[in-house]
Amino acid sequence: MLKVAALVGSIRQDSYNMKITTFIRDRYKDHLDIKIVPIRDLAHYDQDIENEPPASVQNFKAQLSDIDAFLVVTPEFNHSIPGVLKNALDWLSRGNKEMEGKPTFLAGATMGVLGTVRAQMHLRQILNAPGMGASVLPGNEILIGNVHHKVDESGQLTDQGTIQFIDGVVDHFIQFAHSQRKTREVTSNP
């Protein structure tokens, strides 16, 4: 089973993006071992402390030591990702570069109609940067627009079309991640 770290860019208490992440974690628990890794308390990235990062960063990175893959879930703020998520990604681009070569899939929810499409386009650029090097699932984004009409009062995703779409993306991601693993094994053992 793939061990997946979920990074959620929304830190508000009643976050739709956290609800979507929890839904994905619970629905696919027989196929993916998803651990939601908190990013709220990370120190701001600062190159002056990069080689001796504070405890918050050391703890964050330690939680990622045995991870096979990533799920990055983001709201959209001003056509981009939130600063708290960018900060976490900046830390991951330094030192051990924990995301480098790791299969990664994206999701996002918003009350608007576009479902974080602009934020996810920017996120793909960031994850493709030389310091990141994440292996992002191509052509499969979970973009949930009008999310407030797709969850019930308890925060559970109830929209069947959205659920079926997520089922397809997760299935593609599992296939993608396994093919990435096989490719790494072949290239490391010629």
Residue spans of alpha helices (H) in the chain = 16-27, 55-62, 83-92, 117-127, 160-188
**Is the model's pLDDT at 98 over the cut of 90?**
yes
Predicted pLDDT of residue 79: 93
Question: pLDDT tens-digit profile of 34-84?
Answer: 999 999 999 999 999 999 999 999 999 999 999 999 999 999 999 999 999
Rounded to an integer, the average pLDDT of 100-111 is 97
| Residues 116-141, mean pLDDT to the nearest whole number | 96
**What tens digit of pLDDT does each residue of 7-44 get?**
999 999 999 999 999 999 999 999 999 999 999 999 99
Mean residue pLDDT across the chain: 95
Residue 157's DSSP bridge partners are: 151
Q: What is the C-alpha to C-alpha distance for residues 96 and 175, in angstroms, rounded to an integer?
A: 26
Distance CA 85, CA 150 (A): 24
